[in-house]
Amino acid sequence: MADRRQHREQPAVTTDETALIAALKQREPQALAQAFELYAAVIYRLALSILHDEQQADGVVQDTFLKLIEHIDGFEGRARLSTWLYRVAYHECTGRIRRAKPLLNLDDFPEEAAVMPAHFVDWQTLPEQALSSRETADQIQQAIDGLPPTLRLVFILRDVEECSTRQTADILGLTEAAVKVRLHRARLALREALAAYFEEYLHR
């Protein structure tokens, strides 16, 4: 899965975000509605990918926006608003996991070794229908769900939600180098997990 992003510096807060943050601090109702429209779906997907529970994911969305209302006055713009919200959502998720299983820590899960897949299929040679079918989408989602949590989160933020390396590092409290390593491992693991399926598809 090639990285489609251009690597360039981005301002901590965009002009549009500056106006939105100012409106949020003024408690303007339409500002909260705008923030919800912009970020709720992404926060929900992130929470669902971690918790695998729709009700819990809905709760994370609600709690994240409650924290936005409570703490927006202290937001100084050192990170983008979206990054701050994703970080809040991530901590809400890990908090729910720890409350349910106090001894469980996401960092306790081993990461896959960075080795080349034993089975390899060049995805660029696959017919378009192989990559766009519902069956393939289900297979890819199962493969993503099967990644270790430490790799899955980085993959979702970078390749699904298209966050930058810096944003992902800020959200998860990692170095940018660690994000790159985990993303590389996640992509290799997905290739390995999907190789058998695509080989079968090509021989149908």
SS3 5: coil
| CATH number, domain containing residue 31 | 1.10.1740.10
pLDDT score at 101? 67
* Count of residues making up the chain: 204
- For residue 119, report the phi and psi dihedrals to the nearest 5 degrees: -120, 135
Is residue 2 assigned to a domain?
no
* Confidence (pTM): 0.71
Q: Within this chain, do residues 193 and 145 fall inside the same structural domain, yes or no?
A: yes
Q: Within this chain, do residues 34 and 92 fall inside the same structural domain, yes or no?
A: yes
pLDDT tens per residue, the chain (204 residues)? Answer: 444 444 334 445 556 888 999 999 999 989 999 999 999 999 999 999 888 899 999 999 999 999 999 999 998 878 889 999 999 999 999 888 888 765 445 555 455 444 444 445 554 545 555 555 677 778 888 888 888 888 998 999 999 888 999 999 999 989 999 999 999 999 888 888 887 776 665 555
Q: Within this chain, do residues 113 and 192 fall inside the same structural domain, yes or no?
A: yes
User: Structural domain tally of the chain?
Assistant: 2
Is residue 6 assigned to a domain?
no
- 80-106: pLDDT as tens digits: 899 999 999 999 998 888 887 654 455
Q: Within this chain, do residues 135 and 178 fall inside the same structural domain, yes or no?
A: yes
pLDDT score at 25? 93
CB atoms within 10 A of CB 95: 12
Q: Within this chain, do residues 113 and 28 fall inside the same structural domain, yes or no?
A: no
DSSP for residue 14: -
| CATH number, domain containing residue 195 | 1.10.10.10
SS3 16: helix
Domain containing residue 145: 109-202
Q: Within this chain, do residues 117 and 197 fall inside the same structural domain, yes or no?
A: yes
pLDDT score at 98? 81
pLDDT score at 131? 54
Q: Within this chain, do residues 115 and 194 fall inside the same structural domain, yes or no?
A: yes
- 106-126: pLDDT as tens digits: 555 455 444 444 445 554 545
Contacts of 78 (CB under 8 A, 6+ apart): 12
Q: Within this chain, do residues 113 and 198 fall inside the same structural domain, yes or no?
A: yes
Is residue 122 assigned to a domain?
yes
| Burial status of residue 106 (CB atoms within 10 A of its CB: 0-12, 13-18, 19 or more) | middle
Q: Within this chain, do residues 87 and 154 fall inside the same structural domain, yes or no?
A: no
Is residue 61 assigned to a domain?
yes
